[in-house]
Each structure stands twice: as structure tokens, then as C-alpha cells.
Amino acid sequence: MKTKVTILHRIWALLHRHGQHPASHAEKLISTAGGFLGVLLVLIVSARILDFHGAALVVASMGASAVLLFATPHSALSQPWPVLGGHLISALIGITCAKLLANPLYAGALAVSLSIAAMHYLRCLHPPGGATALVSVVGGEPVRALGYWFLLTPVLANVLIILAVAVAANYPFRWRRYPAWLYAPANAPAAGNEPHAEKCMIAHSDLVCALSEMDSFIDVTEEDLLQIYQMAVRRSCCSGRAGAA
């Protein structure tokens, strides 16, 4: 029995070796409440335009967006342009593929793959956009009947609703600023009060160059990465002074 427990413990530790940073209970509750309100409003709007089956398919992609918007509002994937552009561009590609290809298997696969490429080049990578592209192909008669109007209602309407809820739900909590560019970091040091080490910060161009050398999408904004670096430097300086004392 002890051997089995040890093996399970090792497996658990291995799975969590590169796991996510744990959030506070308050953060989890705010994310939960925001997700509930956002998806509820999206469901109400979609159900008025499509039948329940079509609405459920559309909201499936919006449900994935809700996880990003309310659980990871700082993520580069969660910002307004990726959410708006990712869904609309993917829906446009999906509808076009459905019209040009009679076989839904090929149309669906092509729609998702082209959406990935388009989101990469237009810098609006948003994973739920792939689901929107697929729904545009396999959503059934209600979606096909709407044609390109599907872009406006329900896709655009749902995106605007969930973005509005994300802004409103995150606004009262300064540490959850959304969109990321709307709020300055709460703990930014005042000018002239930085430790000596912070006056030798890495340049923005150096950060951009380092990110480009990784040649892969990194799910963090440049601003957040710089802020994390600054906080680490301040902590290191404070720890050094405490150790010297």
C-alpha cells in the first residue's frame, strides 16, 4: 500500500512540475462569477437568434473565451484584439470554407488551419477562434441559413457582450486590470525612488529581440514580463539589504 501511495505521489509531483502558479481564493471566486455572468448573457443572445443546438455550439467557443478572459485577464491571448479579431476572422474563414467545399470534413479542417494562420499573421491569436471556425462549418442549418450574417449576429454580438462583461467585472479589482493597456501597474516605483539595480533595466528592444529569438508564441504581454522582472529585481535588492544587515 505504501508503495502505491509513493508511486501516486511521484506521478502527481511529475504532472505538477511545470504546473500553473496557484491563484488566491478571491481570484478564483472573481473568475467564477465573471464567467457565469458572461456566458449567461451570451447564451441569452444566441438563443434568440439560433435554435438551442446552434446556440450551444456557438457558446462553446465563447465558453472557452470566458475561461481566458476571467481566469487569465493578463494573458496576451485574452486581450480585446485577439478576442475580437480571432472570433470574427475565424468565423469569416469558416463560412467561406463551408460555401466553397461540399465535404464538411475537409471544410472544417481547412477552416481551422487557415484560421490559425490568419490569427498568427494578424497578431490576434485566440484559441477559441478555432472553435468558431469549426462551428461555422458544422453548425447545421441555422448557421448555414445566416450565411455571412453569422459574423454580426451572433458572433460579433457575443464577442462585444463578453468583452463588456470582462471590462466591468475586472474593473473594481486593480490587480486584474483589463484590458492590460488600460491600467498602469499598481506597484510601479515612483521616479527617483528605484533601487540602483532598477536603473539598469533591460531595454524594451532587448526584450523584443529575446522573445523573437525563442521563435514561439509566448503567452505573456511584454508589459507584464517587464513588470515581473522589475518586481524580481526589487525583491532581490531588498533581500540583499536584509542579509547585509
pLDDT of residue 56: 72
Prediction pTM value: 0.76
Q: Does residue 219 carry a pLDDT above 60?
A: yes
- How far apart CA 65 and CA 181 sit, in angstroms, is 19
Claim to verify: residue 85 and residue 168 sit in the same structural domain: yes
- How far apart CA 138 and CA 94 sit, in angstroms, is 9
- How far apart CA 149 and CA 140 sit, in angstroms, is 15
Of 166, 153, 45, 160, which Cα lies nearest the Cα of 91?
153
In a domain, 207, yes or no: yes
229 grid coordinates: 522582472
Which residue segment(s) compose the domain that 139 sits in?
26-176
Claim to verify: residue 226 and residue 132 sit in the same structural domain: no
In a domain, 140, yes or no: yes
238 pLDDT band, cuts 50/70/90, is confident
For residue range 131-153, what is the model confidence (pLDDT) as tens digits?
999 999 998 888 888 899 999 88
Query: Largest Cα–Cα distance of the chain, in whole Å?
Result: 75
Claim to verify: residue 230 and residue 137 sit in the same structural domain: no
Lowest mean pLDDT among 6-15, 49-58, 59-68, 164-173: 6-15
Q: Does residue 9 carry a pLDDT above 90?
A: no
For the chain, what is the radius of gyration of the CA atoms?
A: 22
Claim to verify: residue 111 and residue 220 sit in the same structural domain: no
The answer for 199, left when phi > 0, alpha when psi is -120 to 50, beta otherwise, is: alpha
- How far apart CA 180 and CA 76 sit, in angstroms, is 9
221 grid coordinates: 504581454
Claim to verify: residue 113 and residue 211 sit in the same structural domain: no
pLDDT of residue 227: 72
In a domain, 187, yes or no: no
Claim to verify: residue 233 and residue 202 sit in the same structural domain: yes
Q: Does residue 186 carry a pLDDT above 80?
A: no
Q: Does residue 122 carry a pLDDT above 70?
A: yes
Claim to verify: residue 56 and residue 153 sit in the same structural domain: yes
Mean pLDDT of the residues in the chain: 81
